[in-house]
Amino acid sequence: MPLHDVGYRPWRGKRRGYGHAVGVIAGTGIRLAWTSRWLRRAVFFAWSPALLFAASFFAFEQAVDQGQLGTMQEQARAGRNLDGVGVLGAVLARSLGAPPPDGRPLDANSTRHMVWARLLLAFMRAPQAVLLAVVVGLVAPTLISRDLRAKAWLVYFTRPVGKLEYILGKMAVLGVLVAAITMLPALALWALGVLVSPSVWVAVATWDLPLKIILASLTLAVPTVLMALAYSSLTAESRIASFAWFATWAACWIAHTALTTADLVAAAEVTRLSREAAAQESFFADEAFGEFASVPPVRPRSAPRGFRWLSRAAGLDSEIDRWAWLSPYHALGVVQAWIFGIETRWRAVLPPLVSLLTVTAVSILVLWRRVDAPARA
Amino acid sequence: MIPSAAALPVHLTNVVKRYGRRTVLDGVSLDVLPGITGLVGPNGAGKSTLVRAMLGLVRLAAGTVRVFGLDPQREPRAVRQSIGVVPEDECSVPGLSGVEMVRYAAQLAGLPGIEALRRAHEVLDWCDAGQERYRPVETLSVGVRQKVAFAAAIVHDPQLVILDEPTNGLDPLERRAMLGRLTTLAREHGKTILISTHVLPDVQAICERVIVLAGGRVRLSGSIRELTLPPAPEDRLEGIGPLDDMLMSLAGRGITARRVAPAPEAAPVSPAQRGAILFDASSAGSVPAVWEAARATGVVVLSLERAQRALEDVFLEAIAQADVPAHAAIGSSPGDDDATA
């Protein structure tokens, strides 16, 4: 018996609005998820790639500060890799390699904008997107399936909580985690870049990048979070949802790689046949004109070794990835590149964009039908 | 006085609910009045579906449901704001302790964070949850879990409390305490309580009204006092002493009487000494004659009151009309209501 048992008392306080439930569900969900040691490790580990990219930002600003942009540009034009400055090497080699259109000397501000945008894209696309898949895979499958298993849906739907608040609350749990591993480190990188740059006015020159980071993070978060929650809502066994989540990423990645490789093999075959045809022609030409008529092939500059994955993620591949729509990872990358202004070809962006919108719409439909299905059964 | 339909806690008119071809609620019309009402019926009678209809969780084929004048289909949040539900199924958010669970329920109902915690402790104190409240819900005993579920249902001070098998898993002392809490809520705080249960003695002990649902239809509805009155007026005498001699004495006075089992817990006397007599009370002189017979035979009268039938008998008669096997209603243990009901 408590010392100060006051019995049952009516409650006459002011109640919060119905939207308040979203915050309550999200807060409790995050607190429960955070008790997982693996999640804490994953989120901590997710910040480590930021150190590598921070070094690149620092290296670029040092080059600008010491007036070495021109030198780097000459090196890039000469086809030399710039591995000495890490990821920046890949980015700069492409960014600085092309001659300025009007022949003017290199503009530090516009170069900075381009280099930063590519660095941020590479950061969000390469390591963070993979880490996002891992973190979401750790948390999302349990969010709804555990509610179904423990019949916790009764806790929500016998109270003034609608399906919308429930879904938004669960989305917010994952949204916060996704923001913690993508948006926050990217914004921190931008802030670091401003701090190590020669002038704080750099913040004004790159004002749009934080907005693009937020938009790119949302692009990353919304379809993935909804898809993960949709899987979670389809089963009371979180293991099955977890398997489905990782299987989707892996299978789509493998399918994308297989189809892209098949394209490359086909292209190589075409090139080989055309070279043979050209050699045949030159043979006949030599026979006819008695002089050397063939032209030595020009070797394109390759991406620096060790950073090919990152350089591809930074949007340095000029080829259109026609199978990107098939894989969530690649589709997200193309759309993010479009947001950062790096991929501007509409025919490259449209299929992945449609693919992501379709995944989002289907996931919403599944969630809307499934979250209160036991109550209707 | 019966309030108007708009002000009634629950008002259902011709409610029909079908799952595929199966009709679970077939033209149900009923009112739940302020006070304590029992909702009883065999397994599959449609009790749980009826509760879900009140919460706006199921789409109806026909009919209207009003809870405090509001339509749960159109304004589910406003309706659920005024309802607290203790589901039959154990439900909890894994990982939360008892007090966190109650606080969570309060916050979902719109109480601010600090106030929700204060209120959760207050209600758990009232439910006598003790220090168990700090353990994760999934590790609690069935009885404490039931207390936590009850606390979570009333923490936001709802006007209507719906309980599905509220005494399920409770020991006799806890059961009595739980029924006492329900009575307090109804009589001292003006709450409307709707109890869905198989335990008919619980219903008879605390409910003012009962609704018998069978085969998706309301078979019986009304005041328990009126429903359990015998067809002919009878009085019941509880006493100690030579009751058989008293029966013979009454027969000599022209009063029809018979021996029945004494009520349990009627007095602190062993059952061997106690006894009960039912006698015809239709004539005005029967009561004085009974007193005379008791004095003549040396029977000590413990109580003399208007006799009532057991609710179980009333219930069995009601569901017999619905062609529902009696064993489905009485032989089953509390809490094994099927998923469709």
**Tens of pLDDT along B189-219?**
999 999 998 888 888 889 999 999 988 889 8
Q: What contacts B178, CB < 8 A, 6 or more positions away?
A: B146, B150, B166, B167, B170
C-alpha B10, offset from chain centre = 16
Residue the block writes with tokens 């289907």: A362
To test the contact with chain B by mutation, choose from A155, A173, A371 the residue with the greatest count of B C-beta atoms within 10 A, namely: A155
Residue B90 to residue A35, Cβ atoms within 8 A: no
CA distance A342 to A212: 12
* A277 Cβ neighbours under 8 A, 6+ residues apart: none
Pairing of strands B160-164, B83-86: parallel
Q: Under an 8 A CB cutoff, do A5 and B181 touch?
A: no
Q: What pLDDT does residue A230 have?
A: 95
CB–CB contact B110 A152 (8 Å): no
pLDDT at B336 over 70: no
Select from A5, A12, A20 the Cβ nearest to the Cβ of B125: A5
CA distance B273 to chain A (A): 37
Q: Is residue A206 a contact partner of residue A111, using CB atoms and an 8 Å limit? A: no
Cβ-Cβ contacts under 8 Å for A282 (sequence gap 6 or more): A293, A294
More confident residue, A360 or B44: A360
ipTM above 0.85, yes or no: no
Start-end of H helices in chain A: 20-34, 37-46, 48-65, 69-77, 87-97, 108-125, 127-149, 153-157, 163-178, 184-196, 202-205, 208-233, 238-289, 308-313, 328-339, 346-370, 373-376
CB contact under 8 A, A151 and B91: yes
Whether A154 has its CB under 8 Å from any CB of chain B: the answer is yes
| Four-CA torsion A135, A352, A110, A107, nearest 10 degrees | 120
> Are A24 and B80 in contact (CB < 8 Å)?
no
Structure confidence at residue B180 (pLDDT):
93
Here the tokens at position B212 are 């018998």
Please compute, for residue A76, the number of CA atoms within 13 A of its CA located in the half-sphere on the CB side: 22
Cβ separation B111–A11 shorter than 8 A: yes
At position A264, the amino acid (one-letter code) is L
The tens digit of pLDDT for each residue in A339-373 reads 988 888 888 899 999 999 999 999 999 999 998 88
Helix (H, G, I), strand (E, B) or coil at B114: helix
Give the SS3 label for residue B192.
strand
Task: Note whether A19 contacts B: Cβ–Cβ < 8 A.
Answer: no
CA B86 – CA B181 distance, rounded (Å): 14
Residues linked to residue B97 through DSSP beta bridges, in sequence order: B136
Within 8 A by CB and 6+ apart from B56, the residues are B65, B71, B72, B73, B75, B76, B79, B80
Highest mean pLDDT: which range of A50-59, A193-202, B250-259: B250-259
Which residues from A are below 8 Å from B156, CB to CB? 11, 15, 159
For the beta sheet containing B83-86, the strands, ordered from the edge strand earlier in sequence to the opposite edge, are B83-86, B160-164, B192-196, B35-40, B209-214, B217-223
State whether B115 and A13 contact (CB < 8 Å). Answer: yes
In one letter, which amino acid is A224? Answer: T
- Residue B41 has a pLDDT of 87
Q: Is A5 on the interface with B (CB under 8 A)?
A: yes
Sort B121 into a burial class: Cβ within 10 Å, 0-12 / 13-18 / 19+. middle
- Using a CB-CB distance cutoff of 8 angstroms, which residues of chain B are in contact with residue A24? 104, 107-108
Is there a contact between A28 and B81 if contact means CB atoms under 8 Å apart?
no
Q: Which residues of A touch B55 (CB under 8 A)?
A: 157-158
**For residue A377, which residues of chain B lie inside 8 Å, CB to CB?**
339
Q: Is any Cβ of chain B less than 8 angstroms from the Cβ of A67?
A: no
Determine the distance in angstroms separating the CA of B75 from the nearest CA of chain A, rounded to an integer.
Answer: 10
The token pair that represents A97 in the structure block? 């390699």
Higher-pLDDT residue of A91, B221: B221
pTM for the full predicted model:
0.80
Q: Which of A18, A21, A152 sits opposite B91 (nearest CB)?
A: A152
Q: Please write the tens of the pLDDT for every residue from A186-236.
A: 999 999 888 888 788 888 888 899 999 999 999 999 999 999 999 999 999
